[in-house]
Amino acid sequence: MRLSTIVYSLKQGLKNIYRNKMFSLASIATMSACIFLFGLFFAIVMNFQSMIKDIEAGVAVTVFFKDNVTEEQILDVKGKIEKRDEVSNVIYVSADEAWEIFSKDYLKDAGELAEGFEQDNPLAKAANLEVYMNDVSKQKTLVSYITSLDEVQKVNQSEITANTLSDFNMLIGYVSVTIIFILLAVAVFLISNTVTIGIAVRKEEIAIMKLIGATDFFVRAPFVVEGLLIGLIGSAIPLGIIYYLYSKLVEYVQTQFMTLARLFVFLPAEEVFHSLLPVGLILGVGIGFLGSFFTIRKHLRV
Amino acid sequence: MIELKNVSKSYSTGSPAVKNVSLHIDKGEFVFVVGNSGSGKSTLIKLLLKELEPTEGRIIVGNKVLGDLKRRQIPRYRRNIGTVFQDFRLLKDRNVYENIAFAQRVIETPTRRIRKQVPAMLSLVGLAEKYKSYPKQLSGGEQQRVALARALVNGPAILLCDEPTGNLDPKNSWDIMQLLSEINERRGTTILVVTHNREIVDAMQKRVVTMNKGVIISDEQKGGYNNYEA
């Protein structure tokens, strides 16, 4: 393929878009709407995922031990639990530390009351392990494993939180995949429509080209360029808008609603766009390419 | 150069368009194919361009058996054949220069060569000054010359003309025919002209193949239209 052919295809592709102004604009607009919704969804899901991760990191399984278990044995169990894949972190809380935390939390206004217990720790048997997980969905397996250990007396867990979180995560995944598929189908249909009209308008020209001895590639290239350009423009515009809106929103929430900001930590725009930008552009250009490519294959059987 | 052996073409509806036609045309010949509408002349052109496949028989053009050509080989085959039609088939949104250059772009001729060859073709057909005009600004005769220039710019060995003077007045018809004859003599291009312009065929004294209802009814060297009546 010569450079002049590439230049020719680019020029013709642009010309096609210009010539069918209305349809090109309609395609770009719909494409933009699709990518905009996709981007919005993407940003929301990403933030949700990160929030769930934060919450997950806070969910812990607490392991209590039988009376005759020594500190060495507890540390031994700690080592065993730490080796498991779904576990991110295990913290050993000794009886003294447990008492300290308890008295700080509940007896801070009554210092003398705590002093009374100085020599006789009421929580002497409360040495425990706090187990933090990186995958909440595996909590059940972990708990049954820990319960099966001889030294363990009791396992405290927040099963409801764990199940709800992983269920919610799955739901978001399914919904986003469904919506994205619908949007993609709409966009492909629209591009295909635009290219079909372009082909109808240029039927005579295509016939002449074939007569002169143009290869299929040469006839098709301008239409593919048209689809690619519509995809590119149709994804660049909404991505730009989302970037602007998102950074404004994050800024606004962080300055205006301090409490809300502490509750939900928004990801910075840069982090969201680090993955959204390539995904959005590839999606747009990919839709443009596929939409036009398969349409001309269907219509250009000259 | 062109060889048809017992070629028949029938469409799914109606009677066959071409029936058992055998025809041999040598390199450098100038041949008229005449006949009423519906005599199978246009089908003949389409068969030679491999726009249609014969139902029966073999067609050989140059050294290529058309039936053996694969779909992707057709573009390269057609580049060796120039075509001129009654309705000119120019690109209306491009000027004369671009229309001719287009034929070269399609086959990926280097731009440098395009810049040299297009003006040369334009002066050959006598339109050197009108290179910037658009098709609708030209007369029918001028448009047909542009079409001719486009057909010839890639230096094809064969030129197929389907009623090239069908839309032209007598004066322009004569000019075009004169031009075709010149090209045939000077460049040695094999030319096949489908027409029903009686005066021209009679006057040019070339080989005339007469078709009627899909059958060749006469084939004469230096013939005329006169013996044809059906």
Q: pLDDT, tens digit, for every residue of B180-194? A: 999 999 999 999 999
The residue with tokens 């590119």 is A232
Alpha carbon of residue B67 to chain centroid: 21
Q: Could B108 and A5 be called an inter-chain contact, meaning their C-beta atoms sit closer than 8 Å? A: yes
* pLDDT recorded at residue A278: 93
For chain B, which residues score pLDDT lower than 50?
A: 230
CB < 8 Å to B86, chain A = none
- Interface of B to A at Cβ within 8 Å reads 49, 72, 75-79, 83, 89, 91, 102-103, 105-108, 110-111, 150, 154
Name the nearest CA neighbour of B34 among B221, B206, B201: B201
Cβ burial, residue B71 (10 Å; 0-12/13-18/19+) = exposed
DSSP-based three-state secondary structure for A164: helix
Query: Please, are residues B208 and B220 in contact by the beta-carbon 8 Å criterion?
Result: yes
Residue among A117, A297, A84, A273 at smallest CA distance from A199 = A297
- The helix/strand/coil state of A300 is coil
Whether A258 shows a pLDDT value over 80: the answer reads: no
Task: Determine the 3-state secondary structure of A36 from DSSP.
Answer: helix
Chain B within 8 Å of A208 (Cβ-Cβ)?
yes
Tens-place pLDDT, residues B92-112: 888 999 999 999 988 888 889
Pairs across A and B, CB distance < 8 A: 47
| Minimal C-alpha gap between B106 and chain A (Å) | 5
0.90 surpassed by complex ipTM: no
Q: Are B118 and B100 in contact (CB under 8 A)?
A: yes
pLDDT of residue A140: 77
Residue B230 confidence (pLDDT): 44
Query: What is the SS3 assignment for A142?
Result: helix
pLDDT of residue A261: 63
**R_g of chain B, CA atoms, integer Å:** 17
Return the pLDDT at B46: 92
Best A208, A216, A219 residue to mutate vs chain B (most B CBs within 10 Å) = A208
Q: Are residues B106 and A209, on separate chains, in Cβ contact within 8 Å?
A: yes
- Residue A235 — pLDDT band, cuts 50, 70, 90? very high
Check: CB of residue B211 under 8 Å from CB of residue B39.
yes
CB A212 to CB B89 under 8 A?
Answer: no
A198 contacts in chain B (CB < 8 Å): none
Q: Give the closest-approach CA distance of A212 to chain B in angstroms.
A: 6
Half-sphere exposure of A128 (CA within 13 A, CB side): 17
Give the type of residue at A229.
Answer: L
Q: Which residues of B fall within a CB distance of 8 Å from A14?
A: none
Structure tokens, A270:
């840069």
Q: Is the pLDDT of residue A133 over 60?
A: yes
Closest by CA to A126, choosing from A156, A150, A104, is A156
User: Strand, helix or coil at B92?
Assistant: coil
| Residue A214 in contact with partner chain B when CB distance is under 8 A | yes
Per-residue model confidence as pLDDT tens digits over A7-39: 888 888 888 888 888 888 888 888 898 888 888
